[in-house]
Every structure is written in C-alpha cells, then in structure tokens.
Copies of this chain bind each other. A is one copy, B any other.
Amino acid sequence: MIMSKYVIGIDVGGTNIKLGLVNDSGKIVSRSLLNTESYIRSNKKLIDALIGSIEQLIKEKGLTRAQISGIGIGLPGLINPKEGIVKFLPNVPGWRNVPLKKIIQNKTKIKTYIDNDVNLITLGEWKFGVGKKFKNLICLTLGTGVGSGIVLNDALYRGEGFVAGELGHMPLNEKGPRCNCGGLACLETYVGNRVLAAKAGKIFKIKNIRLEEVFELANKGNVRAVQFWDEVATHIGNALVGVVNLLNPSLIIIGGGIANNYKYLGKTIGKIVSKRSMKVQGQMVKIVRSKLGDDAGIIGAHVLVKEG
C-alpha cells in the first residue's frame, strides 16, 4: 500500500487565513479558516493559532507526520524565502523580521517554506492551473493591490531582493496620479479596486457601490458600465504591452477579484496587446483567465514545498 502524501498550504490574508491539506494532484482535501484580525499586532498569537490549526488538520484526517511532505505559507508582504524571514507585512501590524520558517519548523517538526502570496498563486496556476507546461508566464493579480508573479525559463523569478513582479507599479504614463508606492501613474492607480470603486461611485452616483454591482450593470447592457470595464481593460492591456515586449512570455494569466468579469475584460485586453505589441511577441502570447480562483495560493503552497 502506497501512502498518500500531503502538503499543508496556508494563505495569510489581511482578513482571513486559509489553510488546506493539498494532495499530490493539487486537490484540497480538507480546509480550515482563521480570522486574521483576532491575532493582529501579535505575531506570536497568530503563530500559535497557525500551529493549532496545522495540528488539527493532520489529526482530523488521521494522518501521521510522515504523510506530510511540508508546510507552505504565503504572506501578503515582503518575504525572504531563502532565509525564511517575514520582513514586513504592510496590512498586518506586528510583523517585522519574523523568522517564521524556523519557528513553524521547530514547533511542528515539518519542513516549512514561506514566500509572498502572489508568488504562491503563480506557482499554483503554473503547475495545477492554466499555466501547466508553460515555461515563461506572468500571473497578474487584480485587487486592492495589483501584483504579479513571474515564471521564466521554467522557474519562479523572484528578483535580487525577492520583490520582483510589481506589475501594479509599472507606470502607464510619464505624468499621472501619485501612487501609494511613491511613484506616478502606476497601473494600480488606474485599476486598483479602491480606485475603481471611487470612480464607479462618481459615474453611477451610488455611494459605496460595489464593483460586483458594476459587473451586473454591464451584464444588463448598461452602456456606461460596459464602457467602464472597457477602460479598465485598456489600462491593463497597455501595461501588458511593455511586459510582452520586454519578457516575451507565452502566457499571461489574469486573476483576482475583477477577473470574474473576464468576459468583458479579456476581449479588450487581448485586442490591445495584439495591436500594440511587437509582432513576434504579440503573436506568441496567450492571455487567459486564472483557473484556481481563491484556492490558487493554498495549492501553490504544494508547488513551493516540492520546488524547495
């Protein structure tokens, strides 16, 4: 009898922490959830809660330590995956230079790997999602923050200081709105969720309008809503042109909340990239919607553990 092996995947978000037991086919066979805000300002309490949840996941399924090949954790911030240190989490107070890999490893006696959340999403889509068999791809994540993960020459590319992939901070224009990052006219200042919600509020004169409502309006044929998404897609396409010409990838994956609206976004993004990119680069790049949705990070933890 061959014993199945599992990875414990953990996706730390600003609101929730999602845990999952992932089998070797990339399927989540068991899950649990923690509320991040309950543990805010104390990384020690959060780590204790994580370890409790890890133990419980193993116990519930009646697994032995030997059946767990590793723990993979994605966190929203600046991570040094090599040293296993959480340098800084902008939206989770109390985290600075925490040697998380070592702490979790020592307490659980299970090999542990950490990386930033967007890299885990990218790893998940690459090995178990729409990116299978691709060697050069960009995985764009659209949310309040706009980011991306980069796979080049069949390996995740992290950059000199592990902060590569900030596609949300690709300037779209030489002059433009000031960005939180200190830059000007970054993609995120055009298509970040908060920016879009504010813009939609003004256009549709509805206070606190949710972006889902703007999708619904577009679905009902509201011309101004269709145009709204077309403008979003145009900005995204314009940013991708530079990436396509520079990196010559064969795949771009569009993920994150507003990717749910892919039927409006996809067509225009594709049109812009095909029209503005260089011929060879433009012809060989495929643009697709992400497949794993909210599970991509947990599933990507499996890849992180396997790739080491």
Q: Which residues of A are at the interface with B, using a C-beta cutoff of 8 A?
A: 78, 135-136, 148, 150, 152-153, 155, 157-167, 169-174, 181-184, 234-235, 238, 241-243, 245-250, 275-281, 284
Contact = CB atoms under 8 A, between A and B. Distances in A.
Contacts of A241: 171, 183
A275 B163 CA distance: 17
Contacts of A280: 78, 161, 163
Contacts of A157: 152-153, 247
A78 B161 CA distance: 32
19 contacts: A136-B160, A153-B153, A153-B155, A159-B249, A161-B248, A163-B280, A164-B248, A170-B245, A171-B238, A171-B276, A172-B174, A173-B173, A173-B174, A174-B238, A181-B278, A181-B279, A182-B278, A183-B241, A183-B278
Contacts of A248: 158-166
A280 B162 CA distance: 10
Contacts of A161: 248, 280-281, 284
A234 B184 CA distance: 13
A185 to B, nearest CB: 9
Q: How many copies does the complex hold?
A: 2
Given A136-B159, A159-B249, A166 B281 contact: yes
Contacts of A174: 172-173, 234-235, 238
Contacts of A184: 276
Contacts of A277: 183
Nearest to A235: B174
Nearest to A165: B246
A300 B16 CA distance: 51
Contacts of A172: 173-174
A153 B151 CA distance: 12
List the 6 closest A-B pairs by CB distance, nearest first: A159-B248, A164-B248, A166-B245, A160-B250, A170-B242, A169-B245
Contacts of A164: 246-248
Nearest to A170: B242
Given A78-B280, A169-B278, 17 more contacts: A150-B246, A150-B247, A152-B152, A153-B153, A158-B248, A159-B248, A159-B249, A160-B249, A160-B250, A162-B248, A167-B245, A167-B246, A170-B242, A172-B173, A173-B173, A183-B276, A246-B246
Contacts of A245: 166-167, 169-170, 181, 183
